[in-house]
A and B are shown apart, each in its own frame.
Chain A
Amino acid sequence: MQAGTQNKKLKTSSKNVAGRGVESTSYQNRFVKGIPFKFDYEASVESTEVVKIKSQNELFIGGKFVKPQSGKYFKTLNPATENVLAEVAEANSTDVDLAVLAARKAFATWSKLSGHERGRYLFKIARIIQERAREVAILESLDNGKPIKETRDVDTPLAAAHFFYHAGWADKLEYVVPGRSVAPLGVVGQIIPWNFPLLMAAWKIAPALACGNTVVLKPAETTPLTALLLAEIIQQAELPEGVVNIVTGAGETGANLVDHPDVNKIAFTGSTDIGRRIQKAIAGTQKRLTLELGGKSAHIIFEDAAIDQAIEGVINGIYFNQGHVCCAGSRLLLEESISELFVKKLKKRMQKIRIGNPLDKNTDIGAINSAGELQKIQNLVGVGKTEGGEFFEPNLTLPSKGYFHKPCFFNGVSSAATLSRVEVFGPVLTIATFRTPEEAVLKANDTPYGLAAGLWSEKGSKIHKVASRLRAGVIWANTYNKFDPTSPFGGYYESGFGREGGRHGLLGYLEVK
């Protein structure tokens, strides 16, 4: 491609004789001594052979896959190609009734099992997830659009880790609150989002089961397939019937679950708007509630930070999972003395991001999950452009089909701007500067949300002082977007309440006596 005239002569030769060999000319125009090598990584696409997707998927109730009473099915797409992947049952109120009934029935025996026995089932689920990791990762990539690199290295291993971790707690519940005894709540209704479909299911189901509850889970309507694969895994693990039930559907199915009189607790992860509606809906009932909602998390870089690593932290903080992360570091706060250098380096780094086919192992940013989400992101970027600030997006080529959005940022955006206050839930970053640590804290806390924050400095004392004044449920120092089942996760203010993970996470699924 860059080799000039010399190579053109060589392009004419015929194919080679050896069995699996390469064509004789093709590599020669990619390498000529003395001319820089044009290193464009050839696509390295994961095969989907291992994944068997049923064209029609049923509800998982009482340990069996059953046809919906509604008789209705909806489609789920591959957002990278816009092709239909499968049809999935849509649960109506009767279906939700049946699921809750199955969970209630199972609760009587499940809650009486010894912690040791419950733990064994959870260990078994964890191990099967590991065994079927490749299948899980590929299916997640297909249904969600996120890159295989992430489903393989983050979503799937973390999902298994959540089951492993909580399996360990199942027989140690008496130590959750020292000196007090605990009991399960009963039937738990769980509603999860589309950004980490399997991981959120694991995140919700594992602690609930460890504590002796039974579950009715509703996955997001655009990403139901890995939850149904988890149902298969649960069958394979021979979990007693009805302990976990999975009802697929959209908002109405979720509302039926929230409104069901025989549900003892609702655990919801999703938007702040829906969170508010859920809280209103269950007001006046005995139902417990934990909400893990939106965020507009600040990512603070001090001048004494390790700059090159902070650049990676920022990239990971906002462009990981296409920016569909509730704790994404979407507001970058730079100490003014380094802001120019930092922005220059950030632009250079962003040019190296690879966007495209989620199944290509070299893809860094995959597809936006749905046309609706893409539209929402595009609208907000449009608003950002009218409100000002320097807009930057790297010169990348998007695939012609599928829902894709380039990573981008707005530099020099005030705290009053729409993009500084509204959660975009996409690969869109705002950048502002500060002069002192006090100003950094003020700006970081100047948001209705309080889910996460990150800060970078090589000075330990500064990290501790600033971190103690940030109002955010999760604070990362000199890193970002690190998740671990042992660490509680959750927010302040409009980011919700309750914690998930760690000892604190168990409290959301236990009655402390």
Chain B
Amino acid sequence: MIDQVGIHERAEFFAKRSIKKQSKLGALYTCVSMCDLTTLEGSDTVGKVQQLCQKAIRPAPPTMLSQYFNGNKIEPLPSVAAVCVYPTMVPVAVKALKGTDIKIASVATAFPSGQAPFEIKSQDTKFAINHGANEIDMVINRGAFLSGKYSVVFDEIKEISKICAGKAHLKVILETGEIGSYDKIRLASEIAMEAGADFIKTSTGKMQPAATVPVTLVMLQAISDFYDKTGKKIGMKPAGGIRSAKEAIQYLVMVNETLGEQWLSSELFRFGASSLLNDLLRQIFKEISGSYYYEKSFSLD
């Protein structure tokens, strides 16, 4: 059970951590490496996805950074963790990301509403995996969840996780903005983890409220308890609504103090965000160069 006042208070506590200098720079780099760069629009085209993939590989031109290091060999900016697209765009991303360690995530199961017959959800997932997706972001059946049919929700996740087994990581989107209370978010997290999720994810990004710090904290605590019980590490992905580097660092602090350092890697923590990346870049360049770059210094995609 979750106490709302308590969870909000704890969430605010993380914002008070003062992350400066080297800790800040390290955190910013880490955040870049945790981004799932996303485009999920009806208007997505091959061209759009290709460009997004280029940005995923090299978030900013390497020379922009290297000028501050006086010719020394430097560790370049990391690439992001994954690119997240619709199933039909998976082949495009596979081609564009060939030879990199960037993962290809595909939303599936009738994203974002999940309102389709199960056969179609299953087909959707198989299509994405067969075309090379190595991460599946599925949505839970909120209609079933809100009407109390938890076993339907569980069974659907279980079936999809069987399809993914051995081929793709499964991220389960709870769409926390639709499921009402912190107690329900906690319940949905437990159902997803028991049913075989590798990651649990807050939102589709298609509605507000999306990811918030307290919602993420509730889910992190569920992950922590699941780990204590089973020894299995489940990943976490807040998605939608995280725009500033400052917020992203607050999330890292929260993960650090709730689950520990083991979770501070893209294997177990991701940001589902598109506009966050540029603010991370701005802050990184500010830390390194001493002054803010004009925001147009960084490409839109």
- Chain A interface (Cβ < 8 Å from any Cβ of B): 10, 13-14, 16-22, 24, 26-28, 30-42, 44, 149, 153, 304-310, 312-313, 344, 352, 361-362, 458, 478-479
Which of B2, B33, B74, B289 is A28 in contact with, Cβ under 8 Å? B74
A14 touches B72 (CB 8 A): yes
A21 touches B6 (CB 8 A): no
Residues of A near B29 (CB, < 8 A) are 27, 30-31
Shortest 5 CB-CB contacts between residues of A and residues of B: A309-B6, A20-B290, A44-B18, A13-B72, A306-B3
Query: CB-nearest residue of chain A relative to B9?
Result: A312
B78 touches A312 (CB 8 A): no
A39 touches B18 (CB 8 A): no
A42 touches B22 (CB 8 A): yes
B6 touches A478 (CB 8 A): yes
**CB of B264 within 8 A of chain A?**
yes
Contact with A along B1-44 (1 / 0, CB 8 A): 11101110110000011111111111101100100000000000
B22 touches A13 (CB 8 A): no
A37 touches B27 (CB 8 A): yes
Measured between C-beta atoms, what is the minimum distance from B250 to chain A in Å? Answer: 12
Residues of A near B287 (CB, < 8 A) are 21-22
Which of B22, B70, B288 is A30 in contact with, Cβ under 8 Å? B22
A13 touches B74 (CB 8 A): yes
Interface centre among B3, B5, B24, B73 (most CB of A within 10 A): B3
Contact with A along B288-300 (1 / 0, CB 8 A): 1111000000000
Residues of A near B74 (CB, < 8 A) are 10, 13, 24, 28
**CB of B226 within 8 A of chain A?**
no
Measured between C-beta atoms, what is the minimum distance from A303 to chain B in Å? Answer: 10
Residues of A near B263 (CB, < 8 A) are 36
Measured between C-beta atoms, what is the minimum distance from A263 to chain B in Å? Answer: 42
Residues of B near A39 (CB, < 8 A) are 23, 26-27, 30, 252-253, 256, 261, 264
Residues of A near B68 (CB, < 8 A) are 16-18, 21, 24
Measured between C-beta atoms, what is the minimum distance from A351 to chain B in Å? Answer: 9
B22 touches A22 (CB 8 A): yes
Measured between C-beta atoms, what is the minimum distance from B64 to chain A in Å? Answer: 12
CA distance A28 to B69 in the complex (A): 12
Interface centre among A10, A309, A479 (most CB of B within 10 A): A309
CA distance A149 to B288 in the complex (A): 28
Measured between C-beta atoms, what is the minimum distance from A151 to chain B in Å? Answer: 13
Measured between C-beta atoms, what is the minimum distance from A407 to chain B in Å? Answer: 15
Query: CB-nearest residue of chain B relative to A306?
Result: B3
Which of A33, A42, A307 is B33 in contact with, Cβ under 8 Å? A33
**CB of B275 within 8 A of chain A?**
no
**CB of B221 within 8 A of chain A?**
yes
Residues of A near B78 (CB, < 8 A) are 31, 33
CA distance A106 to B22 in the complex (A): 57
B70 touches A34 (CB 8 A): no
A21 touches B290 (CB 8 A): yes
Which of A14, A22, A458 is B25 in contact with, Cβ under 8 Å? A22
From DSSP, what is the main secondary structure of chain B's interface residues? helix
Which of A13, A18, A305, A307 is B289 in contact with, Cβ under 8 Å? A18
Chosen A-B contacts, 7 in total, with CB atoms closer than 8 Å, are A10-B74, A19-B290, A21-B287, A22-B22, A34-B101, A37-B261, A41-B19
Contact with A along B39-74 (1 / 0, CB 8 A): 000000000000000000000000000001110111
CA distance A20 to B291 in the complex (A): 8
Which of A20, A27, A34, A479 is B5 in contact with, Cβ under 8 Å? A479
CA distance A329 to B3 in the complex (A): 19
Residues of B near A20 (CB, < 8 A) are 290-291
Interface centre among B10, B22, B26, B30 (most CB of A within 10 A): B26
Interface centre among B69, B73, B262, B288 (most CB of A within 10 A): B69
> If the complex has contacts A13-B69, A26-B22, are A41 and B17 also in contact, measured as CB distance less than 8 A?
yes
> If the complex has contacts A16-B69, A18-B289, A35-B265, are A312 and B16 also in contact, measured as CB distance less than 8 A?
no
> If the complex has contacts A13-B73, A20-B290, A21-B290, are A27 and B2 also in contact, measured as CB distance less than 8 A?
no
Query: CB-nearest residue of chain B relative to A12?
Result: B72
Beyond the given pairs A20-B291, A24-B74, A44-B18, 10 more chain A to chain B contacts, judged by CB atoms under 8 angstroms and listed by A's residue number, are A10-B75, A14-B72, A18-B68, A27-B25, A34-B267, A36-B265, A40-B23, A42-B19, A361-B16, A361-B17
A17 touches B70 (CB 8 A): yes
**CB of B257 within 8 A of chain A?**
yes
Measured between C-beta atoms, what is the minimum distance from B118 to chain A in Å? Answer: 34
Query: CB-nearest residue of chain A relative to B257?
Result: A352
CA distance A92 to B107 in the complex (A): 78
Measured between C-beta atoms, what is the minimum distance from B259 to chain A in Å? Answer: 10
Residues of B near A42 (CB, < 8 A) are 19-24
B75 touches A28 (CB 8 A): yes
> If the complex has contacts A306-B2, A352-B257, A458-B3, are A37 and B265 also in contact, measured as CB distance less than 8 A?
yes
Residues of B near A26 (CB, < 8 A) are 22
CA distance A434 to B256 in the complex (A): 33
> If the complex has contacts A31-B30, A41-B23, A42-B20, are A304 and B265 also in contact, measured as CB distance less than 8 A?
no
B3 touches A362 (CB 8 A): no
CA distance A39 to B249 in the complex (A): 11
CA distance A38 to B10 in the complex (A): 22
A478 touches B290 (CB 8 A): no
A16 touches B70 (CB 8 A): yes
> If the complex has contacts A42-B23, A362-B17, are A37 and B70 also in contact, measured as CB distance less than 8 A?
no
CA distance A42 to B27 in the complex (A): 11
Query: CB-nearest residue of chain A relative to B13?
Result: A312
Which of B17, B253, B288 is A18 in contact with, Cβ under 8 Å? B288
B261 touches A478 (CB 8 A): no
A37 touches B16 (CB 8 A): no
* Segment 208-250 of B: residues with Cβ below 8 Å from A: 221, 228
B17 touches A304 (CB 8 A): no
Query: CB-nearest residue of chain A relative to B267?
Result: A34
